Structure 1
Amino acid sequence: MTPPSENVPPSFGSSSGVLIKDVEISTDVSARIFLPSSAPTNACTTQKLHVVLFIHGGGFCMRSAFSEDNTRFGCHITADANAIVVSVEYGLFPARPIPACYDDSWAALEWVASHCKGNGPEPWINDYGDLSRIFVSGNSAGGTISHTLLAKVRSMGLPGDAKVEGMILIHSYFGEDDKMWMFMCPTNLGPQDPRMKPAVEDLARIACGRVLVVLAEKDGLYGAGKTYVNELIKSEWEGKVDIMVNKEKDHCFNIYDHSDPEALVIRQRITSFIHNPS
């Protein structure tokens, strides 16, 4: 496994045509926000930007939104998709056992949605974000958390007219009877806890119209990802699911090696998914 990269300051984005700032959402949750550097000069236009809530991976116990590799990924998606990216820094085991990561990510999504009337706490989102076109995305553990958020949106709702348009899952950490996950979650509901193994009823109520699932052929989670897609299609969910498979690639290779040609292909597919609803 590739070791976590060092954390980098917001100034890391200065050479990539992306503006970055770090914000505090609550005492427990913070985020790194990415904005295309062209956005302030185009402020007079009425065209606002998609907003992507990104939830990083790391087995629920490591890595950071502020790491170099996740910051680089945020810069790429921001520049390629011309979108605002909000990357969540959530609580990790053992300092904060599961479900802290789920709760913190939900708090971040609610915080993003709170800008829907243009009077939220973050000017970049108020001024440039279109909160009717939110995308929730995550890799590995972050993909699992993303699914849980979208099931929760259906029952809990979001502030005002904020809306999640799509979900992007990259090498998601789905499983059943995962003893390590249950160890990290002292309040687990057993081997089929729906936060770990998506329940049929949760699949049917995913609160968006489109889902993109990215899989890597050599990833140990490849089979679980295929099962997720098949069960989503068979459920009563009425949206559209797209699947992308990278041949001969392993888990989260696109985060660890941004220069890999297939990592570029993933970013291009994400950009196309965001901007082309058909």
Structure 2
Amino acid sequence: MASITKEIEMEILPFIRIYKDGSFDRLANSPIVPPSLDPDLETGVSSKDIVISQDLPISARLYLPKLDQTHLQKLPILVYFHGGGFFFESAFSHDHHRYLNSLVAQAQAVAVSVEYRLAPEHLLPIAYEDCWAALQWVASNSINSTTGSDCQEPWLNHADFKRLFIGGDSAGANIVHNMAMRAGVESLPGEVKILGAFLTHPYFWGSDAISGSEMDQPSASHTIMNKAVPNFVWNFVYPSAPGGIDNAMINPTFPGSPSLAGLGCSRLLVTLAEMDVMRGRGVAYYDAVRKSSWEGEAELVQVNGEDHAFHILHVYNQSAKDLIKRLASFLK
């Protein structure tokens, strides 16, 4: 009897397995869950899925908190980019859906969680282009809003486009940085400006040693990812990146990278986890922003005893609840 076992080409465990025939298995995805127009029983948040672009294609999950019918004030708007190393997870996953329900309820914000295309089917920089197109689409709704007309997307009629935020976790936080840098150079429709950006456990890496960084982390057996994974993942999702692991999109503090003074937002919040192997990179990024001539307001929050993406994976833990509360406060 012939063997039906496929030969393995490479693995990034516990995330993905690639076979020599070109097929692959994503091993770490949380289940996809549907949205719910009926308010979530725990948070009161409603959600729905929309298509942003048929051509690219790009979709998103929208979240709307329970509205006080007696005080229909405009709400801040959050454009969110999910994590997953650019090659797994989804805006429609159980983990991110549960997390955004909680964040939207506490922040009393409208959220647009972007479903961008993933590697290896779509290598970077495609995800960056998808997310920029999504951000442009959100901002374009402001044009109708300022003329007194309804937005293209009805739920965005509740949004205050003067309070536009972007946020993300892990690879999504990397996207946040790169969207903010691009917004510092290219304008958004309707002259919309990004008020604030939050980066939770940002995926930054590089060949240069970071003082007080990776060498101080616990052993790989105690962390979600060991020190080899961030480098390996970047080469996997963006093999043609100019400069490789020192490309400015993954290593924004590398000499010769564009000045962080160009960040196109007014407020910045960087949140890190003590056990995260990439924590030191986040500290170095925050320090570099502070030392640049950027004129905004930056804040750093570090959570002891926790690992990468703990607030997504363990949303009911007290430390996760505290962090989500802090992010909600930032959006308010």
What is the TM-score normalised by the length of structure 2?
Answer: 0.78
1:48 aligns with 2:48: no
Q: Distance in 1 between matches of 2:170 and 2:239?
A: 21
- Matched length: 271
Question: Secondary structure of the residue that 1:114 maps to in structure 2?
Answer: helix
Picking from 98, 102, 106, the partner of 1:80 is 106
User: What residue in structure 2 maps to residue 165 of structure 1?
Assistant: 195
User: What residue in structure 2 maps to residue 201 of structure 1?
Assistant: 258
Q: Deviations over 1:144-166 (max 9, x none)?
A: 01000000011111111312110
Shift of 1:4: 2.7
User: What residue in structure 1 maps to residue 24 of structure 2?
Assistant: none
Q: Deviations over 1:162-183 (max 9, x none)?
A: 1211000000000114343133
User: What residue in structure 2 maps to residue 186 of structure 1?
Assistant: 239
User: What residue in structure 2 maps to residue 67 of structure 1?
Assistant: 93
Shift of 1:203: 1.1
Q: Distance in 2 between matches of 1:67 and 1:201?
A: 34
Shift of 1:273: 1.5
Question: Secondary structure of the residue that 1:181 maps to in structure 2?
Answer: helix
Q: Deviations over 1:195-216 (max 9, x none)?
A: 1111553411111111010000
8 Å CA contact 1:13, 1:75 repeated in 2: no
1:226 aligns with 2:252: no
What code does the residue aligned with 2:29 have? P
Q: List structure 1 segments (4+ residues) > 6 angstroms apart after TM superposition.
A: none
8 Å CA contact 2:88, 2:118 repeated in 1: yes
What code does the residue aligned with 1:146 have? V
Q: Distance in 2 between matches of 1:175 and 1:247?
A: 21
Q: Distance in 2 between matches of 1:218 and 1:14?
A: 32
Question: Secondary structure of the residue that 2:331 maps to in structure 1?
Answer: helix
Picking from 30, 48, 51, the partner of 1:5 is 30
8 Å CA contact 2:33, 2:92 repeated in 1: yes
Q: Distance in 2 between matches of 1:203 and 1:226?
A: 14
Question: Secondary structure of the residue that 1:14 maps to in structure 2?
Answer: coil
User: What residue in structure 2 maps to residue 26 of structure 1?
Assistant: 53
Shift of 1:13: 5.2
8 Å CA contact 2:32, 2:94 repeated in 1: yes
User: What residue in structure 1 maps to residue 180 of structure 2?
Assistant: 150
1:268 aligns with 2:325: yes
C-alpha root-mean-square deviation of aligned residues, in Å? 1.7
Q: Deviations over 1:44-75 (max 9, x none)?
A: 73x20000111000011000000111001111
Q: Distance in 1 between matches of 2:329 and 2:91?
A: 24
Q: Distance in 1 between matches of 2:269 and 2:200?
A: 8
8 Å CA contact 1:77, 1:85 repeated in 2: no
Q: Distance in 2 between matches of 1:66 and 1:143?
A: 17
Q: Distance in 1 between matches of 2:173 and 2:325?
A: 18
Cα distance, 1:162–1:20 mapped onto 2, change above 3 Å: same
8 Å CA contact 2:29, 2:89 repeated in 1: yes
Which of 1 and 2 has greater Rg? 2
Question: Secondary structure of the residue that 1:5 maps to in structure 2?
Answer: coil
What code does the residue aligned with 1:59 have? G
Structure 1's unaligned 5+ residue stretches are none
Identity among equivalent pairs (%): 38
Shift of 1:194: 1.0
